[in-house]
Structures are given as C-alpha cells and as structure tokens.
Homo-oligomer: A and B are copies of this chain.
Amino acid sequence: MFKELDPILHSQLRLAVMSLLIGVKEAEFTYLKEKTNATAGNLSVQIQKLKEAEYIEVVKQFKDNYPQTICKITTKGIGAFETYVNALQDYLNIK
C-alpha cells in the first residue's frame, strides 16, 4: 500500500532544489537560494547531502572574482526523483 518515501528527497528544501534542477539541469547556489528562500547555511548543508547521495553534481569555481557553486542533477537523481513522486501518489489519494 504505502511505499517507503526516500528520506533524502522527503525534505522540503532538498525536494525544492531537486525540483528546480530537474527543470534547468544546472543552477548556481545563489539562484537556488533565491528561488527556495532558504538560508545559505541550510542550503549548503542540503546540497552536500544531495551530493553525497549522488543525486547532484557540484562544481566549485570562481566567477568575476567571487566563488561560485554550480549544481547539476545526475541520472541517478532524476531516477530517484521519479520514484519518489510515484511513491507519493499512494499517500495523496490521487487515483
């Protein structure tokens, strides 16, 4: 009846980040921060968790003298997201 909900994705901020990345395929830390209204600290932690899970790739570089963190969803991440959305259907009574 109720499938397990991937705990990595069942988090408001991480889910929002994944949702954004699915759309754009690549995004800056600052962009994600703005779109999600998260604090930088929280976002930093959650991005690391998504990276550890290999749901996203993170590249750190410099742009116009400032550090820049770029995030990109992985194939694994896309799959996990789809599985999560699917599992959720059971909970939402979307028949």
CB-CB under 8 A for A2 and B36, given A10-B10, A10-B12, A12-B10? yes
Q: Known: A10-B10, A10-B12, A12-B10. Is A91-B1 also a contact (CB below 8 A)?
A: no
Cβ of A39 to closest chain B Cβ, rounded Å: 14
Checking B2, B16, B93 against A91 with a beta-carbon cut-off of 8 angstroms, the contacting residue is: B16
* Beta-carbon contact of A2 and B88 below 8 Å: no
Q: Which residue of B is nearest A5, CB measured? A: B12
Expressed in whole angstroms, the minimum distance between the Cβ of A37 and any Cβ of chain B is 7
Interface residues of A (CB under 8 A from B): 1-2, 4-5, 10, 12, 15-16, 19, 22-23, 35-37, 85, 88, 90-94
